[in-house]
Every structure is written in C-alpha cells, then in structure tokens.
Amino acid sequence: MKQKSIKLNFLMNSLLSISSIIFPIITFPYISRILTNVGTGKIATATSVIAYFNIFAQLGIPTYGVRACAKVRDDKEKLTRTAHELLMINLIMSAFMYVLLFFAILFVPILRDDKILYIITSATILLTSIGMEWLYKALEQYTYITIRSVIFKMIAIGLMFLLVHEQKDYVIYGGIAIFASSASYILNFINLRKYIDLKPVGGYDLKRHLKPVGIFLAMSCATTIYTNLDTVMLRVMTDEGEVGLYNAAVKIKTVLLSVVTSLGAVLLPRVSYYIENKMFDEFKNVSAKAINFVLVFAGGATIFFVFMANQCIMLISGEGFAGSIVPMQIIVPTILIIGLSNIFGIQMLVPLGKEKALLGAEIGGAIIDMVLNAILIPFFRSAGASIGTLVAEIFVTTYLFIYLRNELKGVLKRIKLVKILFSLAVATGIMIGTMYLSGRYILPGLYDSIFYRFPNIDYRVEIKSFIELFISFVMFSAGYLLMLIVNRESLTLEILGSIKAKLKIK
C-alpha cells in the first residue's frame, strides 16, 4: 500500500482530534450560560461515567487495532481476517457492558436520577464499536475520517442553537453532543467494503488477540481512571456545580492536547510498519522530530495559557466560572507532559512491543491520581483534582523517560533544548511587557471609548478578555517565532522551508 505524507496525516489527524472537541469548545460559551455550571456538570459526569463502560467495551482495541492492522495492511485477506476478529470481540464486550449499564442505572441513585441522559450518552458504546476507527487509522485514511467528522460537527452546532434554549434542555444537549462525536461512525461501517471484504473469510482465531488486547485494556483502564476519575470523584465528594467549574478549566487544555497527541496517533501505524520491516533509522528519525514538535508547540502553549488563564475563562465561560481560573493554571502544564508521554508510550513503546512498561506507568499514575484526589478534593475542590492529575502525569512521563533512557540517548542529541527555552523566555517577556504597558496606557482608553459609544452592550468582561487575549497572542507568537528563527531551531526552519516550497517562494 502506498504510504501517505506524514505531514498531511498529521494535519488531518490534528483537525480530526480538534473536531472531536471543537463542538463543545464553540458551543460552551452559549451552553455554559444556558445550562449553567449545574447543567454542564451533569453532562460532564454522565460522559465520564459512560467512558468507564466504553473503555471495557473497547478492550484497548482502538490502540491495539491500529498496530495489528498496520502490520498486515499490504495483505487484504489477512487485514480482513484481523478486522473481523477484532470487531467480533468488540461487539461481544459491548453487549456485555450494556447489560451491566442497565443494572447500574436501576440500582445507582446518581445514574437513576438522570437515566434518560445516561441512556442517550451510552449510544457512544455501540457507535464506537461499529465505527472501527482503528482500521481507518491503520490504513492512514485521515482525510476521509476528518472530512466526515467535521461535517457532523457542523450539523450538531446548528441543532444546538435550534433545540437548546433552557436549563432543562441539558438532556437534549447531551444527545446532540453524542451525535457530534459518534454518529459519523455509521459512515465508517458503511464504507468498510472499500478496504476489507465483508463476507466471512474463515480461519478466525480470536484467542490470538486476547493477551495483547488484555494489556491494552489495562492500559486504557489506567488512563481512563486518571483522566475521568477526577470528574467522578468531584461529583461524589462535592457537587455538580464544582464539576462544571472543573470542566470549564480543562476545555482549553483538551483542545491543545488533541493537537499534540495527534502526532503520536498518526505515527503509530507508520512506526509499527517501520519496526515490522526493521527500518530502525527511520524509527529514530521520526521519534526525534515528534519530541521536538512537542517541546516547541506544547511548550509555547503551556506558557501562554498559564499566564492568560483568567482571560480564557472569562471569554469562554463568563464571570460565573471565575472559580475555574486556578484549576486551569494548574492543569495546563499537562499539555507538555502528556505530549511527551504520548510520544514515549504510543509512538515508541507500543511499536516496539513493550506495552507492559507503558501499562506499569499508567497503573502507577492512576493510583497516584486516586490517592491525591481523595486527599486534596475535600480541601481544594476542583483545584485539588487538577493537582492530582498534574502529579499523576508527571509520574507517568518520568517513568517512561527512565525506561527509555537508552533508546532516547541518540534521539535527544538531535534536539536543541536550550534554543527552545531561550526563545520561550524572550517571548514570555515580550508578552508580559506588552500587557503591562497596554494595560497601563492604551486599553483603559480603548475600553472607555467602546463602552461610551455602546452603553448598553452586554458581555463587557468577555470583550475585554478577547482584546487582551488577541494582543498577547500576537505578541507572544511573533516573539516566539522570531526567536526560533534567529536561533535557527531545526524544526521551525524545516516547517518554514516546506511552506515556502509549497508557495514557490524563492
């Protein structure tokens, strides 16, 4: 099978990942004001609970399936047999989890009180199973799945403005959110015939997948625990309003993280192919570029959004979510930390067949997160949940770095960390200096002029936040890019060179 451009795949998968959460990001300013933090907290809780059922239904297949199918993608019969086997396992486990969910809704008060919401949200279990996204990713069909996903998100945005008008409409919004994230999987199932045979090919051996699937399931469970446990524990130990505040705090982080982790997801099928065919130089080369990208992009995003958390929360959620500012500042550094652990784990350990090491790291992270949440949430509420997640992610990344220290020696020599750090420091200084001077001499007069001309204008805090974010983003980005160019940072020069070539600039 002809290999597609990694740059195109990364771009498409970044758009795909962003589209998975761009719907809640675009709609959150509207939804947070209509549903309030209580309504958004109900939806966040339902989503987190269903995520636990879904993770057992999927059995780690979303990651394992990419590797397994990528290895045999040049042989249609083997690819068909592998895809059929994994789909069978997936559907069997989905049916089992639906039975457990039915009893949970009957006997657990929190679930029973909002049973309609949980039933609607649970549709993601079946849709994810039949969607077989892992097969399309193994075949590097990122353009198709991205275009398909974006179309459904756009439809969902229209449905939201059409149907959600009151606080009681949170159930409707929950259904629309599922439509946005999962309904497109139906098209995946319909289009399977283009890539595999739909008729049984025989010779099925489900047992050969059970051991690796079990390991990937354990990995997924551990990751899901410290990804969603903070939300669930907040709901149990505090209230839905606090969950809503925490949910607002992680919105920006989730969008940025989706871009960072998209690179690891894109490279998994390619790197698995390299390892299978003993192309180790190519493996080290793409690993170095991936780490370099995370340091440049995630490093800049982390610094910017820690400093501008106040303006972000005010713009996206409004003054009613002021309690989200500190949790956001605490949790934003996980963009960089998770970005690195994703490269170490998904791009390096998984293709090398060392997923047990990744499992050990994630189990340790889950335990740390659980213990810290239990200790800190009663005292610091949503900020305590943020601290637990941050420490857990630091542990995971450190563990993987130590485990891979021999493999990383040659890789890290190609990365000029000092140049990146110096560029970040200068860009941060430019941003802080600009905001201080503009806040002292320019913005007060600008605000007075705007609000004098439009005395009845609503959302004054949001307008101020947008202006401040825009100015700081322009200055930070320009300063950062300029310093990376001056320091001749390799990845930046390569990207700019590629852009010039595309535009035919000499």
Rounded to an integer, what distance in angstroms lies between the CA atom of residue 311 and that of residue 301?
15
Higher-pLDDT residue of 56, 2: 56
Q: Is residue 50 part of a domain?
A: yes
Task: Please indicate, yes or no, whether residues 137 and 280 belong to a single structural domain of this protein.
Answer: yes
Look up the domain containing 134 and give its range. 6-415
What percent of the chain shows pLDDT beyond 70?
87
User: What is the three-state SS of 231-277?
Assistant: HHHHHHHCCHHHHHHHHHHCHHHHHHHHHHHHHHHHHHHHHHHHHHC
| Residue that is last in its domain, among 385, 415, 445 | 415
Q: What is the pLDDT of residues 324-338, one digit of tens each?
A: 899 999 999 999 998
Those residues with Cβ within 8 angstroms of residue 416's Cβ, 6 or more apart along the chain or in another chain: 487, 489, 490
Q: What pLDDT score was predicted for residue 484?
A: 93
Q: From 45, 397, 467, 34, select the one nearest 235 (Cα to Cα).
A: 45
Task: Please indicate, yes or no, whether residues 153 and 167 belong to a single structural domain of this protein.
Answer: yes
Question: For residue 299, what are its two tokens?
Answer: 């490093």
Task: Please indicate, yes or no, whether residues 427 and 353 belong to a single structural domain of this protein.
Answer: no
Torsion angle defined by CA atoms of residues 131, 133, 138 and 141, in that order, rounded to the nearest 10 degrees: 90
Q: What pLDDT score was predicted for residue 35?
A: 77
User: Considering only 163-172, 322-331, 391-400, 419-428, which range has the smallest mean pLDDT?
Assistant: 163-172
Those residues with Cβ within 8 angstroms of residue 29's Cβ, 6 or more apart along the chain or in another chain: 315, 316, 317, 318, 462
CB atoms within 10 A of CB 261: 22
268-290 per-residue burial string, b: 16 or more CB within 10 A, e: under 16: bbbbbbbbeeeeeeebbebbbbb
Average pLDDT of span 342-365 = 81
Q: Is residue 101 part of a domain?
A: yes
Task: Please indicate, yes or no, whether residues 480 and 371 belong to a single structural domain of this protein.
Answer: no
Q: What pLDDT score was predicted for residue 480?
A: 95
Q: Is residue 29 part of a domain?
A: yes
Task: Report the domain count for the chain.
Answer: 2
CB atoms within 10 A of CB 262: 22
User: Considering only 6-20, 170-184, 432-446, 484-498, which range has the smallest mean pLDDT?
Assistant: 6-20
User: Considering only 176-180, 227-231, 362-366, 437-441, which range has the smallest mean pLDDT?
Assistant: 227-231
Q: What is the pLDDT of residues 309-324, one digit of tens each?
A: 999 888 887 788 888 8
Average pLDDT of span 85-105 = 91
Helical (H) or strand (E) element with 111: helix 109-113
Task: Please indicate, yes or no, whether residues 45 and 183 belong to a single structural domain of this protein.
Answer: yes
Rounded to an integer, what distance in angstroms lies between the CA atom of residue 390 and that of residue 329?
11
Those residues with Cβ within 8 angstroms of residue 83's Cβ, 6 or more apart along the chain or in another chain: 65, 69, 132, 135, 192, 196
Q: What pLDDT score was predicted for residue 45?
A: 81
Q: Is residue 276 part of a domain?
A: yes
| Residue that is last in its domain, among 415, 440, 457 | 415
Q: Is 488 helix (H, G, I), strand (E, B) or coil?
A: coil
Rounded to an integer, what distance in angstroms lies between the CA atom of residue 460 and that of residue 425?
32
Q: What is the pLDDT of residues 20-51, one digit of tens each?
A: 655 656 777 777 778 777 777 788 788 878 88
Question: For residue 432, what are its two tokens?
Answer: 């802080």
Question: For residue 170, what are its two tokens?
Answer: 């949170």
Q: What pLDDT score was predicted for residue 14?
A: 59
Q: From 155, 9, 124, 143, select the one nearest 62 (Cα to Cα).
A: 124
86-122 per-residue burial string, b: 16 or more CB within 10 A, e: under 16: bbebbeebbeebeeebeebbeeeebbeebeebbbbbb
- The structure tokens 């690195």 sit at 340
Q: What is the pLDDT of residues 142-162, one digit of tens each?
A: 777 778 778 888 888 888 888
| Residue that is last in its domain, among 356, 386, 415 | 415
User: Considering only 79-83, 196-200, 364-368, which range has the smallest mean pLDDT?
Assistant: 196-200
Q: What pLDDT score was predicted for residue 2?
A: 47
Alpha helix segments (H runs only) across 382-416: 382-403, 405-412
Q: Is residue 1 part of a domain?
A: no
pLDDT band at 277 (very low <50, low <70, confident <90, very high): low
Q: Is the pLDDT of residue 269 over 90?
A: no
Q: What pLDDT score was predicted for residue 1?
A: 47
Task: Please indicate, yes or no, whether residues 296 and 399 belong to a single structural domain of this protein.
Answer: yes
Q: What pLDDT score was predicted for residue 365?
A: 87
Rounded to an integer, what distance in angstroms lies between the CA atom of residue 51 and that of residue 225?
10
Task: Please indicate, yes or no, whether residues 363 and 454 belong to a single structural domain of this protein.
Answer: no
